[in-house]
A and B are shown apart, each in its own frame.
Chain A
Amino acid sequence: MSDVVLVRSLLLAIPLAFLATRAMPRRLPPAARLVLGVGAGWLAALALVLLVPVGIMAYLVSFAIVGSIYAVIALGLNVQWGYTGLFNIGIAAFFAVGAFTSALFTTTPPTGAAAAFTQQAFGLGAPFLVGVLAAGVAAGVLAAVVGGPTLRLRDDYLAIATIGIAELVRLIFQNERWLANGPQPFRGIPQPLSCLVRDAGCPYLPAPLMELFAPLAPRDYTYVYLAITALFVIVTFLVLERAIRSPWGRLLRAVREEEDAAAMNGKDVARAKLQAFVVGAVIMGIGGALYAHYMVAIDYSHFDPLYATFIIWVMLMLGGSGNNRGAIIGAFVIWGVWTGAAFAVDALRPVLAAISPELPARGPYLRLMLIALLLIFILLFRPKGLIGEERFVSRHTGEREA
């Protein structure tokens, strides 16, 4: 077993160990669950790295990265729609603002000849985590600005406002050259911890740690980034589960169900909605930042309603709105269906050509149709998604208290 296999498996073990730990039977004591889960997760990671051909593995890893980014955003939508019933159909706005904010914070403005071709409002050269934080704050502020006036009104107004703001944000990034290089791609967004896979290494990491990662080559960077996005999914999930299974989650569900009664029971409905809207938007902004640092170059076209709003709604609907596990599962399943459909359309090329010579060129639209059909089937046959909502909101309510 070569060193590089070991390091790859260790990185891959981060999400797998988490999944395995959660899958362990509840009867076991927590420590045993942790040890067994980590062991099983790492073994599974090792098996994948050893047995699956390198090319396919590389594909799977980048698939999982995008899946994780979508999972983060779906978790954000779940706070807004799943728990609070806020109809945000402008996810793209918060996604884009997060992505561009982190990009602006972490890059340095171009100098010399490059300055003639690239423009950006500012560039702070800040570390990745600062960029992510700024992305969350920027998206949260946008949510407060949009939600402040509209959340007091009927539900429809939020939908109208969000769809409008998403278009507005996209058009701003398309047309305002000074802001983030206008219609041209914004390039050179740094990859966090990419020094791990470079010969020079990371100066801020202790030497033994650097030695561990030494076998990694630049093409292994996706493994590093998967570990990062997986950590973000895990932390977001755990934080939300904690916050939701509590009086806060109960308050949100009550507001979703019956606003007037919640108000009559002394709850400030507008404030609860605004809180949920902002918290969800912050998470979406963080997802945007993760996206930017993965893509390295982004432009306005990445944030069209299809990829940045619609598909995330389908993910949440399929997984089960009102359930954080459902949001994550939905993100991966729908992203799988979406990418798988591309292969299917490719494979069906001859058949499509036989039906009509123009059809193969319109393959991408078939994918869209497929996703739309899937959404209809979900709503008809599985309206609560793969896993629905749990009966008890607060962890401390049922008899099952630990």
Chain B
Amino acid sequence: MESTAARRTPPRVEADGAQAALLRVERLSKDFGGLRAVANCSFSVRAGTITGLIGPNGAGKSTLFGLISGFMRPDDGRVYLGGEDITGLPPHRIFRRGLCRTFQIPREHKSLTVLENLMLVPPDQLGERFYNPLLRPGAVRRQERELREKARDVLDFLTLGHLRDEYAGTLSGGQKKLLELARTLMADPRIVLLDEPAAGVNPTLMGRIRDRIVRLNAERNITFLLIEHDIPLVMGLCDPVIVMNQGMKLAEGPPAQVQGDPRVLEAYLGGQYGAADD
């Protein structure tokens, strides 16, 4: 699958020796009418990390994902992936540079089977041009066979193997979350943006998702940026953790440090830690 894999570049090393930012967001802003969903937000995600992105509801986390992955255009600011400016590119172009995302509410292709949901993903398939199945059926078939093998491996890795011929629409909520993750793996991404991978997932399945994220990170050097509300999960899985509030980065650091930060507590719980408020 090397030919269809997203282009990889080795992680760059900055002058001071620290690992370079794989993803860098600079002074990003987005307004919805009068509402400032993302306000002058800057941060970076280092290659090889599992970075957590937390913050109270409405902090602008999902909007930020939309801006990074090309679904929305920022009003201001830039996004860099591996040093290249990707601001304003359409989602499929950003995908080709090795950035995948999942959605908070899974968006599976309901009337495709689980297997075909995965086989869809790799870019530049010969058979995606309608004349190739007619003119070069042998080459298309060979490529399909490779894709199917790869899709099966990914499904087995994510314990969805037994469901591969089911319509994706019939999966449970948690299985759909796994399917979202599975699809990103078909592309050999450099970085995956996960939007609440554990929301609505039962604890067993959640443990599995978490375990797979750790393994993908360690074994295949995939960088993760994940939004999550499950604080124990984030604290156990992510380092560093970025806290957002009101469209801005509020704090960043190792989980323990962030957890003890009074500004973070205030953002989550209100002034004076919310004792008397609300």
Does B associate with A? yes
A residues near B (Cβ < 8 Å) are 239, 242-243, 245-248, 250-251, 253-254, 257-258, 260-269, 275, 279, 389, 391-394, 396-399
A262 to B92, CA, bound (A): 8
Say whether, besides A262-B120, A265-B187, A266-B96, A243 and B134 are in contact (CB < 8 Å): yes
User: What residues of A have a CB within 8 angstroms of the CB of B123 in the complex?
Assistant: 266
Contact call B113/A391, Cβ cutoff below 8 A: yes
Contact call A242/B134, Cβ cutoff below 8 A: yes
Residue pairs across A and B with Cβ atoms less than 8 A apart, 5 shown, are: A247-B125, A250-B120, A261-B183, A267-B120, A396-B148
Say whether, besides A243-B133, A253-B112, A264 and B127 are in contact (CB < 8 Å): no
Contact call A239/B113, Cβ cutoff below 8 A: no
Contact call A264/B69, Cβ cutoff below 8 A: yes
User: What residues of B have a CB within 8 angstroms of the CB of A242 in the complex?
Assistant: 133-134, 137
The contact size tier of chain B is 35 or more
B residues near A (Cβ < 8 Å) are 69, 71, 90-92, 95-96, 100-101, 103, 107-113, 115-117, 119-121, 123, 125-134, 137, 140-141, 144-145, 148, 165, 167, 183, 187
User: What residues of A have a CB within 8 angstroms of the CB of B109 in the complex?
Assistant: 253-254, 257-258, 261-262
Measured CB to CB, the closest approach of chain A to B65, in angstroms, equals 10
Contact call A260/B128, Cβ cutoff below 8 A: no
Contact call B119/A398, Cβ cutoff below 8 A: no
- B100's nearest neighbour on chain A, judged by CB, is A264
A397's partner among B69, B107, B115, B167 (CB-CB below 8 A) is B115
Contact call A261/B107, Cβ cutoff below 8 A: yes
Q: Which 6 pairs of residues, A with B, have the shortest CB-CB distance?
A: A247-B127, A396-B144, A266-B95, A246-B133, A261-B107, A263-B91
- A238's nearest neighbour on chain B, judged by CB, is B134
Say whether, besides A242-B137, A260-B103, A397 and B144 are in contact (CB < 8 Å): yes
Contact call A258/B107, Cβ cutoff below 8 A: yes
Contact call A396/B134, Cβ cutoff below 8 A: no
Interface Cβ pair total, 8 Å cutoff: 120
Measured CB to CB, the closest approach of chain A to B1, in angstroms, equals 14
B120's partner among A239, A251, A260, A399 (CB-CB below 8 A) is A251
User: What residues of B have a CB within 8 angstroms of the CB of A263 in the complex?
Assistant: 71, 90-92
Contact call A239/B134, Cβ cutoff below 8 A: yes
Say whether, besides A253-B109, A394-B144, A248 and B95 are in contact (CB < 8 Å): no
A263 to B91, CA, bound (A): 6
Contact call B140/A265, Cβ cutoff below 8 A: no
Contact call B108/A258, Cβ cutoff below 8 A: yes
Say whether, besides A258-B108, A263-B91, A247 and B100 are in contact (CB < 8 Å): no
Measured CB to CB, the closest approach of chain B to A233, in angstroms, equals 17
Contact call A248/B128, Cβ cutoff below 8 A: yes
- A239's nearest neighbour on chain B, judged by CB, is B134
- A269's nearest neighbour on chain B, judged by CB, is B92
Measured CB to CB, the closest approach of chain B to A6, in angstroms, equals 35
A243 to B69, CA, bound (A): 31
Say whether, besides A266-B96, A267-B92, A248 and B130 are in contact (CB < 8 Å): yes
- Which of A258, A279, A393 has the most chain B CB within a 10 Å cutoff? A258
Contact call B121/A250, Cβ cutoff below 8 A: no
- B164's nearest neighbour on chain A, judged by CB, is A397
User: What residues of B have a CB within 8 angstroms of the CB of A275 in the complex?
Assistant: 130
User: What residues of B have a CB within 8 angstroms of the CB of A239 in the complex?
Assistant: 134
- B115's nearest neighbour on chain A, judged by CB, is A397
A275 to B69, CA, bound (A): 25
Contact call A251/B107, Cβ cutoff below 8 A: no
A248's partner among B110, B111, B127, B137 (CB-CB below 8 A) is B127
Contact call B92/A266, Cβ cutoff below 8 A: yes
User: What residues of A have a CB within 8 angstroms of the CB of B120 in the complex?
Assistant: 247, 250-251, 254, 262, 265, 267
User: What residues of B have a CB within 8 angstroms of the CB of A260 in the complex?
Assistant: 71, 91, 103, 107
A63 to B148, CA, bound (A): 45
A263 to B123, CA, bound (A): 11
User: What residues of B have a CB within 8 angstroms of the CB of A267 in the complex?
Assistant: 92, 120
Say whether, besides A247-B140, A397-B148, A265 and B121 are in contact (CB < 8 Å): yes
Given A242-B133, A266-B96, 4 more A-B residue pairs with CB atoms under 8 Å apart are: A243-B134, A248-B130, A267-B92, A268-B92
User: What residues of A have a CB within 8 angstroms of the CB of B107 in the complex?
Assistant: 258, 260-261, 264
Contact call A246/B119, Cβ cutoff below 8 A: no
A258 to B180, CA, bound (A): 13
- A393's nearest neighbour on chain B, judged by CB, is B116
A266 to B183, CA, bound (A): 11
A397 to B113, CA, bound (A): 10
Measured CB to CB, the closest approach of chain B to A278, in angstroms, equals 10
A247's partner among B95, B117, B144, B165 (CB-CB below 8 A) is B144
- B95's nearest neighbour on chain A, judged by CB, is A266
User: What residues of B have a CB within 8 angstroms of the CB of A392 in the complex?
Assistant: 113, 116
User: What residues of B have a CB within 8 angstroms of the CB of A398 in the complex?
Assistant: 165
A95 to B116, CA, bound (A): 34
Say whether, besides A242-B137, A254-B120, A279 and B130 are in contact (CB < 8 Å): yes
Measured CB to CB, the closest approach of chain B to A390, in angstroms, equals 10
User: What residues of B have a CB within 8 angstroms of the CB of A246 in the complex?
Assistant: 127, 130, 132-133, 140, 144
Measured CB to CB, the closest approach of chain A to B259, in angstroms, equals 32
A396 to B125, CA, bound (A): 14
B129's partner among A248, A257, A269 (CB-CB below 8 A) is A248
Contact call A265/B183, Cβ cutoff below 8 A: yes
- A258's nearest neighbour on chain B, judged by CB, is B107
A250's partner among B116, B134, B183 (CB-CB below 8 A) is B116
